Amino acid sequence: MNLEHLELFVRIARHRNISVAGRELGLSAAVASSQLSKLEAAVGVRLLHRTTRRVSLTEDGVVFLTYAQDILSSVDSARAAIGVGTTSPQGRLRVAAPASFGRMHLLPALPDFMEQYPNLQVDFRLSDSIVDLVEGGFDIAIRNAELPDSSMIARKISPDNRLLCASPAYLEKYGEPQHPLELSQHECITLAGLEDWQFKSAEGPVSVQAQGRFRTDNGEAIRDACVTGMGITINSTWSAYDFLRRGELVQILKDFPLASETAIWAIYPSSRQLAPKVRVFIDFFTSRFSDNPYWDDFGST
């Protein structure tokens, strides 16, 4: 099977456009279309639906795409292992990441990463929506959640410590709760879909259905609303650390930690060999953030 044809197919699946994929590989639309036909003839099935307006994967094409990506990744890994070609990973690395975490922590570190790996081009998609890595043509996704399902391989980049916080102005006006059950008497700012707040205590787990007049689907928005005194909320330390350091937010209910198993994960499709460009990205940011990330040191000056 021709590796160049596989690379073309993967790019077509990514862009949904034969001409764009061909142009990336220095091929005319006619040559790209011809090579795609040869690949389909070689595998014996139609991989793409083609119309004058768009290209989409067939059911067989969706299945074949995963294997094509695995083959190309394995070839990259094999070449790197025996020292063939450049010793530095090359090509385009497509990364999906949460909007807030990506903007606040991945992007500031990216210049160092790209300086270290000058043959890589990086394509970031910053969105709080969960993307399909295979269908979207992404090499890797960064997610802040509990351990994901086993259909993907996950590597922990950093802990995602979460805490309950409020502004000094809110606490001065309404008082500070001393037990999670007292939150029913307070205004709680909630993230859509995460109104069930779970706490640990000496007597066992405590569950609170948080209620309030403001709810949003964005972590930075609940943090900023909390800073303005609108209520009490849960926030990740990577999002709130600067506000905690400056005293604009205060951690409350320290004796009742949140029952959370969340972390920052690097997720990538299952394959026998990890592509060098994905491996160096994970290694770089794992080393950068480690088990004691700088945002958890919010008590220092």
Can you tell me the distance from the alpha carbon of 145 to that of 56, in angstroms, rounded to the nearest whole number? Answer: 31
Give yes or no for residue 63 having a pLDDT over 60: yes
Parse the chain into domains and list their residue ranges: 3-81, 91-160+263-296, 162-252
Phi, psi of 259 (to 5 degrees): -85, 90
Q: What is the pLDDT of residue 231?
A: 96
- CATH class belonging to 3-81: mainly alpha
* Angle at 148 (CA atoms; ends 142, 149), nearest 5 degrees: 135
Least reliable range by pLDDT among 118-132, 135-149, 202-216? 135-149
Confidence of residue 148 (pLDDT cuts 50, 70, 90): low
- What's the rounded mean pLDDT across residues 257-272? 81
Give yes or no for residue 291 having a pLDDT over 80: no
- What's the rounded mean pLDDT across residues 46-66? 85
Name the nearest CA neighbour of 62 among 13, 1, 19.
Answer: 13
**Both tokens of residue 98?**
């949460």
Can you tell me the distance from the alpha carbon of 232 to that of 212, in angstroms, rounded to the nearest whole number? Answer: 9
Can you tell me the distance from the alpha carbon of 102 to that of 285, in angstroms, rounded to the nearest whole number? Answer: 12
Fold classification of 91-160+263-296 is D-Maltodextrin-Binding Protein; domain 2 (3.40.190)
Same CATH fold assignment for domains 3-81 and 162-252:
no
CATH architecture of 162-252: 3-Layer(aba) Sandwich (3.40)
Query: Are 258 and 233 contacting, i.e. CB atoms less than 8 angstroms apart?
Result: no
Residue predicted with more confidence, 228 or 15: 228
Give yes or no for residue 301 having a pLDDT over 50: no
Query: Are 157 and 105 contacting, i.e. CB atoms less than 8 angstroms apart?
Result: no
Q: What is the pLDDT of residue 245?
A: 94
The per-residue pLDDT for range 85-122, each reduced to its tens digit, is: 555 777 888 899 998 999 999 999 999 999 999 888 89
